[in-house]
A and B are shown apart, each in its own frame.
Chain A
Amino acid sequence: MQPPESLVREANPVGLCSFRYKYLQKPLEESALPTLLQYINRWPTAQKDKIAITIGVLLSQGLATAGCLQSLTKDHLVKNGASHVPSVLTAKKPDLLFSV
């Protein structure tokens, strides 16, 4: 499956930045991506998919190492109950809920 063009386009500036300012690559790998992944359970499903695809693109371009995936092994992300937040709940529209 090819990653969507829009996400590749979004990942490109990150790549260009870390290529131009080399010192940015280390913080991206060691703090930014692991922290994002650590709290990924609070994100809506669509955005989770987006960040996962973007990380895949960054990895395949060699802009980040796979070490950032290590934070996904934390207990609260791995345990059974954390598995899936239905998109119906995350994409709710207040107008619809209160109009009844």
Chain B
Amino acid sequence: MAADIIAIVFRTYIAEQSIDQLAGILKKGGIKDLLLFFPPNKREDKLLDEFFRKQGLAQVADWWTKKKYAMLKEEVIKTIKGHLEHGDSNPDVGKDVLGTDPSLGLTKTFFFLRLCLRFRRSRKNSLCQRRNSSSAFGQAL
């Protein structure tokens, strides 16, 4: 029932204002998790997405999904940072990042791979720079 009422409130709000403003007032009002309006056995992002789409509130569904992905990304970065500070081995880091929740596995893998790629690229760049600087150093000599 709470979800139905929330849907009506959102629909009325969106008729007058934009989704960004809705996100703003929810944040200001201290409502961080929309899943709390759903029954405990239906607190899944997929079901929430489906529910809002069915109610004709695709913007809310999109906004929530985007927000969830941003949260996931932050979580992955935090875990990796923690491991790097501790100096753990790579397989351990991978296991910890991917192993917590099987349903989130794919998304997390995606972020993890992107991070790995970015790390490799930055390392390559720094190596190139070092090589260039050393050759420049040689030339200077």
Interface residues of A (CB under 8 A from B): 1-3, 37, 40-41, 48-49, 52-53, 55-57, 59-61, 65-70, 72-73, 77-80, 82-84
Contact = CB atoms under 8 A, between A and B. Distances in A.
A48 B4 CA distance: 10
Does more than half of chain A's interface fall in helix, strand or loop, or is it mixed?
helix
Report, nearest first, the 5 A-B pairs whose CB atoms are least far apart.
A56-B12, A66-B29, A52-B8, A60-B16, A67-B29
Contacts of B36: 73, 78
Contacts of A57: 12, 16
B5 A48 contact: yes
Contact of B31 (A2, A70, A77): A70
Does more than half of chain B's interface fall in helix, strand or loop, or is it mixed?
helix
Contact of B9 (A56, A67, A82): A56
Interface stretch (B38-46, B102-110, B111-119): B38-46
Contacts of B37: 72-73, 78
Contacts of A52: 4-5, 8-9, 12
B58 interface: no
B10 to A, nearest CB: 7
B1 interface: yes
7 contacts: A1-B11, A56-B15, A57-B16, A60-B12, A78-B36, A80-B41, A84-B1
B2 interface: yes
Interface in B26-81: 26, 28-31, 36-41, 56
B31 A66 contact: yes
Contacts of B1: 40-41, 48, 77-78, 82-84
Nearest to A82: B1
